[in-house]
Homo-oligomer: A and B are copies of this chain.
Amino acid sequence: MKKRIAVLPGDGIGKEVTRGAVEILRAVGERFGHQFSYSYGQIGGGSVDELGTPLPDETIELCKGSDAVLLGAVGGPKWDRLPVHLRPEKGLLKIRKELGLYANLRPTLYYSSLADSSPLKREVIEEVDLLMVRELTGGLYFGKPSERMKQDGRDVVVDTLFYQKSEMTRVIKLAFELAKNRKSRVTSVDKANVLESSRLWREVAEEVAKDYPEVIVEHMLVDNAAMQMVRNPKQFDVVVTENMFGDILSDEASVLTGSLGMLPSASISESGPYLYEPIHGSAPDIEGQNIANPLATILSVAMMLRLSFGLEEEAKAVEAAVNEVLKSGFRTKDIASVGTKLVTTTKMVEEVKAT
């Protein structure tokens, strides 16, 4: 199989972790006889510094001409005071829009070997296997107006939560499709007791559910979901929600199992390419020290193999290798605990490759 992969390392530890993940992709290519080619593009703060924009057109073109996109991370305090349109995050928001990445998928998985680094009790998180499906190109993130104004001489400000019904249908359908290959449960999260958009969301979820009689659907208010996620995360299988709620809940979900440095994500479009990135940020404080955890990016690559290339066996091989390495006790600093073997980023990549 021949595939073109766009690699956007971005800022901070983004470079180190994508380098590691590309090594794993190369190894997979060799072992299974695939031809993966890699082209590199700029995004984020480094791009602002060099090119005056967080997302140059060349990067967009590069991505559109590729079969999949691997992203490291963007941002850092260095660029926090820039005007909004020059912030690294703008690059991220723009690439989502440009590639039509309407759904962000984030699995949160329990790793028995990492339970010690979770803030939650082991019995609460044991066997957690949750998939957050977040709508990614609508809602408060892109609605207009989003501006300050004067009203009767007073300073006021407005943001707009806007959705097309079809945008809701599309992402909710995806959640049901994904649930079919899992535990066949969908929790649809909204704030239907307050927001009109949430009432429509709930109706759409009920409509879509009719086409999936084998999937159990449940509606949950977002405040309750934020509670239940901590109280009893095991109750969830697939959770689907709109953009802003998803931003909050997926970050909350990511700390439950103590494996933040381990969590991959995929962003899906209607006609590809999809984009893969670790959940963690650019962590500028540990940049260049060779201590960042490359596993989230490596597991993102496993998602790429599965979702973009249909290479299930290869994806499983990568995931199995990660599990083996953890079982053997290898840990980067963020997940290290007493009795484990502390290793560098590069050593961790080598261990996964060798397995």
Contact = CB atoms under 8 A, between A and B. Distances in A.
A159 B230 contact: no
Nearest to A166: B154
A196 B157 contact: yes
Contact of A156 (B119, B163, B226, B245): B163
A254 B232 contact: no
Contacts of A289: none
Contact of A162 (B84, B158, B251): B158
Interface stretch (A8-16, A63-71, A139-147, A292-300): A139-147
A78 interface: no
A134 to B, nearest CB: 11
A227 B255 contact: yes
B232 A119 contact: yes
Given A157-B162, A164-B155, A84 B199 contact: yes
Contacts of A155: 164-166, 200
Given A159-B196, A194-B141, A251 B226 contact: yes
A119 B229 CA distance: 10
B196 A89 contact: no
Contacts of A93: 194
Interface residues of A, number: 56
A231 interface: yes
A157 B197 contact: yes
A194 B97 CA distance: 14
Contacts of A252: 226-227, 229-230, 252
Contact of A119 (B87, B146, B231, B247): B231
Interface string A150-189: 0100111111111111100000000000000000000000
B146 A89 contact: no
A248 B230 contact: no
Contacts of A226: 226, 248-249, 251-252
A317 interface: no
A195 interface: yes
A157 B147 contact: no
Nearest to A258: B231
Contacts of A157: 162-163, 165, 196-197, 200
Nearest to A243: B194
A156 B168 CA distance: 10
Given A230-B252, A251-B224, A252-B252, A154 B146 contact: no
Contact of A161 (B120, B140, B164, B254): B140
Q: Which of A147, A196, A224, A254 has the most CB of B within 10 A?
A: A196
B248 A231 contact: no
A341 interface: no
A270 interface: no
Given A119-B124, A194-B93, A158 B161 contact: yes
Closest 7 CB pairs of A and B: A155-B165, A223-B251, A226-B252, A159-B161, A119-B124, A146-B196, A157-B197
Given A154-B164, A223-B251, 9 more contacts: A84-B199, A140-B194, A146-B196, A155-B165, A156-B162, A158-B160, A160-B160, A160-B161, A231-B255
11 contacts: A93-B194, A119-B230, A155-B200, A156-B162, A159-B160, A223-B251, A224-B251, A226-B248, A226-B252, A230-B256, A231-B255
